[in-house]
Chain A
């Protein structure tokens, strides 16, 4: 059995090499003391990072992106809670088709979503703003929130909810004091995934952004200037490191969510 796996292991390493090929260039050129992106490397510098720190439009774009990502992930998580709860506990007319429409953005190329929303906005004569980008990103992130939260709500032990109702807590109290704490890990995962999707999304933001660019739209504008490339590399490196930190937090909560869901006996009752 073990012998058979040797060629596969070699393949795995080659494949990982392919996956890492572009990314290893980020730190190389982010710290490379040359305005031209080419080998051989010339020397070590942190100049490009200082450049970044002085770029005011970058910070404005970053602020826009964070604002959009926080708002969009918050709204999509609320939508996720509403949808997941309805799907897990209720029977109603049109259940499958309503669910289908909410999940549909997963099955559509982004350019089509972006173009069609833009057409509506143009017909209505509405100006593009951060809100239009938020609306697009909510649409995109909601299906992910729904899938994460559906798992969380399906894993909920119904008897805990019934116990709370029997002991005299009303529906709203039960929701906030029993259900919500139990799905908190799911809520945090949903917020984080919505945040990362929105932060990295380009096409919809490109179509729906007004005069205030998001970070990806700003990066896109930088890519046209060869002199800006080392700065872009430095920015990419920072994004990579920041995302990995965020990912570790996400992983932490995901594991807690799993242990909460699988180890019911030691979560609620002692």
Chain B
């Protein structure tokens, strides 16, 4: 009987959320479940062999190519996350604590460069770092170098640089929001009770800003690990990442099941690392209460 009334109560809510929920069911959950299923099948020339097998996963974990790509993707995106958040923090800190009346203006100034196509923003790094690029032609005309530098484009570093740039505002905003929420009287109390500026930063500001820092880390980490455009444009072969391999297996290599298995491995890594981030966040959130 109780279940019956619960259902009755639920009807109004279901009527509203039903359509978007079913849409998500059809276009997200079902496709991902099919992706999992497909990853246990194999491609035999033009046909799919639908017998259940771990062959794709075995192939991924036995070929150094795949392991290298996955490791590199994780390393690059963790490095991008750490550097983006670290570089963004002082900016968010300045705007929140010293921005005064110019807060909105400063935040607007930060977003302006990001209002053009993502593809072009990444591509512009190729123009800056390239063989005939801005840095090389600049250094040559200043007579610092005779030959163009070739080590600055087409490697992991170029990918890290372009990604750290592309995701900068996504790190600044959550940190800024968490800094804004800090009750300034806590800092004054800390100072009055004898804490130095440095100590009150580490004991009050930083712990209270942690939810923002962790949110920023997740916002940067999740999309960068699966980024396709950046490694393709500025990474060369040395900076290739797992998304590029997924695309190659899907199209040119015509091995959709292997692509599916690669996608599932990447997805598992994303979920795993995100859970670690969220675990830390929970620790900090609990301390606040």
Given contacts A135-B27, A223-B233, contact A22 B117 (CB under 8 A): no
Interface string of A1-20 (1 = CB under 8 A from B): 01011001101100110111
Residues of B within 8 A of A11 (CB): 90-91, 94
Bound complex: CA of A232 vs CA of B93, how far in Å?
36
* Contacting residues of chain B (21-45) with chain A, CB-CB under 8 angstroms: 21, 23-25, 27-32, 34-35, 38
Residues of A within 8 A of B186 (CB): none
Given contacts A15-B87, A93-B7, contact A112 B226 (CB under 8 A): yes
**Contact, CB under 8 Å: B263 / A116:** yes
In the complex, whether A269 has a CB less than 8 A from a CB of chain B is no
Bound complex: CA of A223 vs CA of B126, how far in Å?
11
In the complex, whether A203 has a CB less than 8 A from a CB of chain B is yes
Closest chain-A Cβ to B77's Cβ sits at a distance in Å of 9
Given contacts A95-B13, A110-B226, A116-B34, contact A236 B113 (CB under 8 A): no
Interface string of A121-147 (1 = CB under 8 A from B): 011000000000001101100100000
Residues of A within 8 A of B229 (CB): 202-203
Bound complex: CA of A104 vs CA of B123, how far in Å?
29
In the complex, whether A163 has a CB less than 8 A from a CB of chain B is no
Residues of A within 8 A of B227 (CB): 109, 111
**Contact, CB under 8 Å: A109 / B112:** no
**Contact, CB under 8 Å: B23 / A138:** yes
Closest chain-A Cβ to B196's Cβ sits at a distance in Å of 12
In the complex, whether B1 has a CB less than 8 A from a CB of chain A is no
- Contact-residue size bin, chain A (C-beta under 8 Å from the other chain): 35 or more
Residues of B within 8 A of A167 (CB): none
**Contact, CB under 8 Å: B168 / A19:** yes
Residue of B nearest to A98 (CB): B21
Bound complex: CA of A235 vs CA of B90, how far in Å?
34
A-B pairs with beta carbons under 8 Å apart, 16 shown: A15-B87, A16-B110, A21-B165, A26-B116, A26-B120, A38-B137, A82-B20, A83-B20, A91-B10, A92-B12, A101-B25, A112-B266, A120-B31, A120-B34, A135-B27, A239-B116
Chain B residues within CB distance 8 Å of chain A: 6-7, 9-14, 16-21, 23-25, 27-32, 34-35, 38, 87, 90-91, 93-95, 97-98, 106, 108-113, 115-121, 123-125, 127-128, 132-134, 137-138, 141, 165, 168, 197, 218, 222-223, 225-229, 233, 243, 246-247, 250, 256, 259-260, 263, 266-267, 270, 274
